[in-house]
Amino acid sequence: MKKLIMVAMFAFFSVAANASYSTQQSVVIQIDQARANIESAVSCSIIYSHTPMATEADYYKGMVYENYSNLVEQLVLTGQSEQQARQTAMEQVVSQAQHMEKLLNDERAGGKAQFTQLLKQTAVQNQCVHYANL
């Protein structure tokens, strides 16, 4: 009887451990997706702020906030405190914004044609859906 209970407990904990592992995999994938979505939304927001369609930047700012919130939620699921998760997510947003602004400033120095080409190329890469109207 003791052996049966031990085997049953072992089986239960094995299944629980596997479920936990698969849940962790899902969270990691969702974290990666949220980070990618933040990068894309920040890029699109900055692109539109440099075009005649600056009002579209507001749409992507909303997307940045939505993806920021999603990333915070996923990071909390991994065991981070909410404060740590918010800090990590904000660092992601700031890092991407700084990267895009540096890239645009470098290209702007090269002339209007290069700058416009970079805007279009980045818009296509990040699937900035409204950019096709320019």
pTM score above 0.85: no
Reading the block at residue 22, the tokens are 């698969």
Of the candidates 72, 47, 76, 71, the residue with the CA atom closest to the CA atom of residue 59 = 47
In this prediction, residue 25 carries a pLDDT of 63
- The residue written with tokens 């702020």 in the block is 49
Instruction: Tell me what the mean pLDDT of segment 49-67 comes to.
Output: 86
Position with higher pLDDT, 83 vs 6 = 83
Task: Tell me the pLDDT tens digit for each residue of 21-55.
Answer: 545 568 788 899 999 999 999 998 988 888 887 78
Task: Tell me the pLDDT tens digit for each residue of 69-94.
Answer: 999 999 999 899 999 999 999 999 99
Q: What is the rounded CA–CA span in Å between residue 119 and residue 116?
A: 5
Q: What is the rounded CA–CA span in Å between residue 133 and residue 130?
A: 6
Q: What is the rounded CA–CA span in Å between residue 102 and residue 61?
A: 19
67-76, 95-104, 107-116: which has the minimum mean pLDDT? 107-116
Residue 116 to residues 61, 88, 92, 104, Cα–Cα distance (Å): 21, 32, 26, 10
Residue 66 pLDDT level (bands cut at 50, 70, 90): very high
